[in-house]
């Protein structure tokens, strides 16, 4: 069964710092990988989606990379802001099912 | 932006009560999902549907049932709530041939 791991579980950085969140998965036979943001008590908001044939996707200050063969993805956030504080989850799709990590809780200190 | 709604947003009920959590989407998506999420834990798939009259159980057996009589509506029912059902329930949908899942705001359920 697919297992998705995210490290670190929590991260605190000063405003303006660049940072990297990590996601790893055990079965490389994925269709795609999606990064989400979740604010406390809320649902998930999709940030970036990378197809299995792609290496990276960019949206504004966010850049996600995918190395399918090694079972890894990273989410790079440039010039972090206090508004970036949230939990970031990654999810891989296999068939019509999705497997989620436990997330990285990010705090950006003003 | 996706239009997917969940009601109620918060619910506190006693043990043994029957409850239905509502989920509706206005995007015409054929695929819909219910997830359970405990604090600090990953999302667990409890039910999914590929279209009207199609429902399947996910990995997590939550003693709940779902129905899909209309494309836009995917309610989740707990016949007899127990304290172990206390959790956040998230509904999601995905369109035909589309890759992204869109999530509702969630229902925070507390069973006393």
Question: How far is A34 from A89, CA to CA, in rounded Å?
Answer: 8
What's the pLDDT score for residue B59? 78
Task: Encode pLDDT of A47-97 as tens digits.
Answer: 999 999 999 999 999 999 999 999 999 999 999 999 999 999 999 999 878
Chains A, B: CB pairs < 8 Å:
56
Which pLDDT score is estimated for A55? 95
Over the Cα atoms of chain B, what is R_g?
Answer: 13
Question: Strands A62-67 and B76-78: what pairing?
Answer: unpaired
CB A43 within 8 Å of CB B107: no
pLDDT tier for residue B75 given thresholds of 50, 70 and 90:
very high
The whole-number average pLDDT for the span A9-28 is 96
Please determine, for residue B95, whether its predicted confidence score (pLDDT) is greater than 70. yes
| pLDDT single digits (tens) B5-21 | 999 999 999 999 999 99
**Residue A28: pLDDT band with limits 50, 70, 90:** very high
Cα A45 to Cα A84: distance, rounded to the nearest angstrom: 13
Q: How many Cα atoms occupy the beta-carbon half-sphere of B64 within 13 Å?
A: 31
C-alpha distances in angstroms, A36 versus B6, B12, B57? 19, 28, 24
Please state, in angstroms and rounded to a whole number, the distance separating the CA atoms of residues B74 and B25. Answer: 9
Q: How confident is the model at residue B62 (pLDDT cuts 50, 70, 90)?
A: low
Q: Measured at the alpha carbon of residue A27, what is the angle toward residues A29 and A4, in degrees to the nearest 5? A: 120
Which among A44, A50, A90, A95 is the top mutation candidate for probing chain B, defined by the most B β-carbons within 10 Å of its own β-carbon?
Answer: A44
What's the average model confidence in pLDDT over B82-101?
Answer: 90
Q: What is the mean pLDDT of chain B?
A: 92
B25 — pLDDT class (breaks 50, 70, 90): very high
Residue environment code for B21-31, b if the CB has 16+ CB neighbours within 10 A, otherwise e = bebbbeeebbb
Q: What is the DSSP letter of B59?
A: S
The answer to whether A16 touches A80, Cβ cutoff 8 Å, is: yes
Q: Is A66 on the interface with B (CB under 8 A)?
A: no
Nearest C-alpha in B relative to A101: B42
In this predicted structure, the answer to whether residue B1 has a pLDDT above a threshold of 60 is no
Q: Which of A43, A90, A95, A98 to mutate to test the interface with B (most CBs of B within 10 A)?
A: A43
Three-state secondary-structure class, residue B24: strand
- Beta carbons of B79 and B66 less than 8 angstroms apart: no
Cβ within 8 Å of residue A58, ≥6 positions away? A48, A64
């Amino acid at each position: 069964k697919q297992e998705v791991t995210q490290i670190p579980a929590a991260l605190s950085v000063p405003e303006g710092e660049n940072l990297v969140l990590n996601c790893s998965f055990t079965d490389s036979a994925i269709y795609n990988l999606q990064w989400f943001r979740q604010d406390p008590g809320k649902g998930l908001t999709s940030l970036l989606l990378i197809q299995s044939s792609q290496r990276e996707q960019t949206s504004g200050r966010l850049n996600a990379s995918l190395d399918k063969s090694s079972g890894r993805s990273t989410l790079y956030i440039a010039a972090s802001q206090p508004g970036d504080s949230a939990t970031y989850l990654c999810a891989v799709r296999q068939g019509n099912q999705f497997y989620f990590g436990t997330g990285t809780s990010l705090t950006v200190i003003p | 932006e996706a239009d997917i709604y969940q009601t109620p947003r918060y619910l506190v009920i006693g043990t043994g009560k029957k409850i239905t959590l509502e989920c509706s989407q206005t995007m015409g998506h054929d695929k819909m999902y219910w997830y359970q999420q405990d604090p600090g834990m990953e999302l667990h798939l409890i039910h999914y549907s590929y279209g009207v009259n199609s429902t399947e159980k996910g990995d997590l057996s939550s003693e709940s049932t779902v129905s899909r009589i209309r494309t836009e509506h995917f309610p989740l029912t707990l016949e007899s709530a127990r304290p172990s059902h206390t959790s956040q329930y998230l509904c999601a949908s995905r369109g035909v041939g589309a890759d992204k899942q869109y999530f509702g705001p969630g229902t925070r359920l507390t069973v006393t």
